[in-house]
């Protein structure tokens, strides 16, 4: 760690990991509710568990991105962070707002929560992933703006590199597109159309810039490959991400009332969306193969390679699987979507945050890398979580194919619930995979507490 | 990557591509907004349907159900529930939840009054008449 202020990333990462654990616990509750329908009802109905599961995901990834930004931007800019105090204040505001929101979901009926938090003044709640009460949404904007001010001042007064510029553009994009969450017209088609300007333009747009910058930063550090080479790759990857992803938004516009030309625009451009993810895989492996040093942090290298592969599989391959309009006509809104969502979020965003944490946490704790034994445990957790996620995805895909056949294609289509009962075996297997994922996550957390003899002292 | 292809070339592709395709997205969006009146059933977006949408949102229906395929995949698609079940069934269904059948998925009781149920039904009727390019594939959603 070159600059003292980079240490502000540490609480962000700790919070991220804590919330990640919460996300997985609620994921397991939902997984069980899929097969034991009345589990925890009415204390935690499925919709509440799902809000907690998805909102915790979003919040912990945001914590991860912010922590990553506070770490890498000072280092790239070669100066201290503009205001570490502001960064720390924003951490507490975001943590308290996040925790209060989750408690609100769990303890208060959603309709009452909406009433008490001003949803009648400006209705923004009750839309998938954007369920947060108005004060939370405003809080997200405040935290994001304070962070952007802090980071932009740091970059403006320091060295401008491709990595810190791309990170900054990604974060600005994140904040700007989030503003569409405040636009909720009564017209359902318009509502859905612009809802995707938050959701799609985040995960298939600006978040890819953030991911690319984080991956490039870690790869420079752990491989020692020339910055020029890595930055060129970064530009090409994010160029492809936006060239394919912006019009690729159209793959969400097939069946929501938008004009039918979106079936062409969406199919063609979203079919290109795997390209940037494939390039990330090639990029990561290529750089590691051309490494000019053996970095003592083997676990961080493993995460960097892993995120390249899993992002391509989850976002790229599983996305392509159902993105073409004639296929999507049958797969839309089925377990296929759930399968894709799980592996894409884990492979691209969860793993890139863990790559960053894996690389930076030892440095923030005063060593180049963790002890051998600690790294071995961390790598075990990598494999357990990653393999478990592959199986979760495969089981959900199998459930999805069967569901689509029974409910949408068979000569005598079954009702939704009848088809769900037929596929319950796959839901049980998904739940078992989920338990293995939890074991992996617990090991991951345990790896931070394992001491052992530290590796070489220089990074 | 070959050294003839420089970093500044890559940077220009990024900035140029991002701006060009964002403008294209804006252009297509402009055209979409002009085309929507023919498809989005706005003439039937009554006061009652608007109130129904508000109920739909504040009860977090999307947390279990899908609407036009978007939402959670835990409970049936609702864009065509009006045609699949009809208004009376929907209202009765809402009143008798949860079923309490052991082991079955449970839907909460939302304690909606008669007016609120009618509003919700108007919203679902309005949604069912949006032109969704023949989706879902059949009545089961």
pLDDT at residue A199 is higher than 70 = yes
Distance from the Cα of B40 to chain A's closest Cα (Å) equals 6
pLDDT at residue B135 is higher than 80 = yes
pLDDT level of residue A457 (50, 70, 90 thresholds)? very low
Q: What is the mean pLDDT of residues A63-73?
A: 98
pLDDT at residue A459 is higher than 60 = no
- B135:A250 CB<8 A: no
CA–CA separation, A81 vs A155, rounded Å? 9
Both tokens assigned to A314: 């989850």
- A46:B63 CB<8 A: yes
Residue of B nearest to A33 (CA): B105
pLDDT at residue A72 is higher than 70 = yes
- Asked if A32 has any chain B CB less than 8 Å from its own CB, the reply is no
At B67-126, the pLDDT tens digits run 999 999 999 999 999 999 999 999 999 999 999 999 999 999 999 999 999 999 999 999
At A376-417, the pLDDT tens digits run 999 999 999 999 999 999 999 999 999 999 999 999 999 999
The residues, ordered by sequence, that sit 6+ positions from B67 with a Cβ below 8 Å of its Cβ are A188, B56, B61, B77, B78, B79, B127
Length of chain B: 141
Both tokens assigned to A107: 């303890």
pLDDT level of residue A314 (50, 70, 90 thresholds)? very high
Question: What pLDDT was estimated at residue A454?
Answer: 61
Q: What is the DSSP letter of B70?
A: E
* Contact residues on chain A for B14, CB-CB shorter than 8 A: 235-236, 238-239, 242
pLDDT level of residue B3 (50, 70, 90 thresholds)? confident
pLDDT level of residue A453 (50, 70, 90 thresholds)? confident
Spell out the domain ranges in chain A.
1-160
Question: What pLDDT was estimated at residue B4?
Answer: 85
CATH C-level class of B40-128: mainly alpha
Spell out the domain ranges in chain B.
7-37, 40-128
Both tokens assigned to B129: 């008449």
Both tokens assigned to A437: 């994922």
> A210, A167 in Cβ contact below 8 A?
yes
pLDDT at residue A455 is higher than 60 = no
- How does the average pLDDT of chain A come out, rounded? 97
CA–CA separation, B138 vs B141, rounded Å? 6
Distance from the Cα of B86 to chain A's closest Cα (Å) equals 16
Given CA atoms A85, A91, A92, A97 in this order, what sign does their dihedral have? Answer: positive
Q: Which of A110, A126, A257 sits opposite B39 (nearest CB)?
A: A257
Residue B71, beta-bridge partner list: B66
Question: What pLDDT was estimated at residue A452?
Answer: 81
pLDDT at residue A31 is higher than 80 = yes
Proportion of chain A above pLDDT 70, given as a percent: 99
Q: Which helix (H) or strand (E) segment is A392 a member of?
A: helix A372-404
Instruction: Give CA separation, A248 vs A262, A265, A386, in Å.
Output: 9, 7, 27
Question: What pLDDT was estimated at residue B1?
Answer: 64
At A234-285, the pLDDT tens digits run 999 999 999 999 999 999 999 999 999 999 999 999 999 999 999 999 999 9
> B66, A416 in Cβ contact below 8 A?
no
- Asked if A50 has any chain B CB less than 8 Å from its own CB, the reply is yes
């Amino acid at each position: 760690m070159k600059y003292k202020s980079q240490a502000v990333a540490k609480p962000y990462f700790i919070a991220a990991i804590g919330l990640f654990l919460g996300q997985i616990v609620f994921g397991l509750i939902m997984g069980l509710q899929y097969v034991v329908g009345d589990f925890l009802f009415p204390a935690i109905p499925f919709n509440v568990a799902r809000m907690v599961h998805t909102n915790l995901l979003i919040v912990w990834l945001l914590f991860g991105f912010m922590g990553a930004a506070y770490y890498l931007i000072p280092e790239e800019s070669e100066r201290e962070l503009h205001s570490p105090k502001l960064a720390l204040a924003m951490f507490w505001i975001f943590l308290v707002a996040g925790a209060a929101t989750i408690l609100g979901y769990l303890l208060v009926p959603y309709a009452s929560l909406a009433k008490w938090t001003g949803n009648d003044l400006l209705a923004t709640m009750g839309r998938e992933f954007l369920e947060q009460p108005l004060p939370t949404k405003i809080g997200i904007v405040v935290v994001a703006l304070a962070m952007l001010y802090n980071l932009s001042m740091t970059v403006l007064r320091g060295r401008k590199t491709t990595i810190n510029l791309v990170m900054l553009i990604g974060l600005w994009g994140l904040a700007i597109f989030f503003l569409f969450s405040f636009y909720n017209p009564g017209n359902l088609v318009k509502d859905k159309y612009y809802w995707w300007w938050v959701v799609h333009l985040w995960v298939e747009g600006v978040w890819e810039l953030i991911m690319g910058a984080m991956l490039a930063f870690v790869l420079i550090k752990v491989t020692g490959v020339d910055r020029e080479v890595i930055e060129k790759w970064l530009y090409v990857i994010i160029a492809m991400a936006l060239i394919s992803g912006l019009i690729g938004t159209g793959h969400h516009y097939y069946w929501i009332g938008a004009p039918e030309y979106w079936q062409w625009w969406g199919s063609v451009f979203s079919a290109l969306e795997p390209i940037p993810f494939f390039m990330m895989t090639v990029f990561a492996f290529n750089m590691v193969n051309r490494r000019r040093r053996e970095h003592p942090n083997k676990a961080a290298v493993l995460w960097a390679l892993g995120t390249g592969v899993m992002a391509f599989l989850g976002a790229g391959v599983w996305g392509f699987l159902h993105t073409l309009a004639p296929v999507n006509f049958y797969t839309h809104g089925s377990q296929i979507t759930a399968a894709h969502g799980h592996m894409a979020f884990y492979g691209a965003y969860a793993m890139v945050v863990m790559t960053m944490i894996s690389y930076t946490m030892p440095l923030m704790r005063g060593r180049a890398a963790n002890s051998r034994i600690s790294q071995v445990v961390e790598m075990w957790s990598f494999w357990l979580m990653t393999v478990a996620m592959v199986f979760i995805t495969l089981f959900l895909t199998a459930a999805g194919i069967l569901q689509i056949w029974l409910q949408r294609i068979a000569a005598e289509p079954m009702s939704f619930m009848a088809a769900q009962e037929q596929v319950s075996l796959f839901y049980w297997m998904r739940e078992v995979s989920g338990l293995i994922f939890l074991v992996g996550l617990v090991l991951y957390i345990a790896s931070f507490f394992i001491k052992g003899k530290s590796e070489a002292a220089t990074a | 990557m070959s050294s003839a292809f420089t970093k500044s070339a890559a940077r220009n592709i990024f900035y140029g591509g991002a701006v060009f395709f964002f403008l294209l997205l804006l252009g297509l969006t402009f055209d979409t907004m002009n085309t929507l009146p023919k498809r989005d059933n706005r003439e039937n977006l009554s006061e009652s349907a608007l109130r129904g949408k508000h109920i739909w949102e504040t009860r977090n229906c999307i947390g279990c159900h899908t609407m036009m395929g978007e939402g959670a995949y835990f409970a049936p698609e609702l864009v065509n529930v009006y045609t699949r079940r009809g208004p009376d069934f929907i209202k009765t269904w809402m009143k008798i939840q949860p079923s309490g059948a052991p082991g079955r998925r449970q839907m909460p009781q939302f304690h909606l009054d008669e007016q609120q149920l009618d509003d919700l039904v108007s919203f679902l009727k309005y949604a069912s008449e949006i032109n969704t390019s023949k989706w879902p594939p059949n009545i089961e959603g």
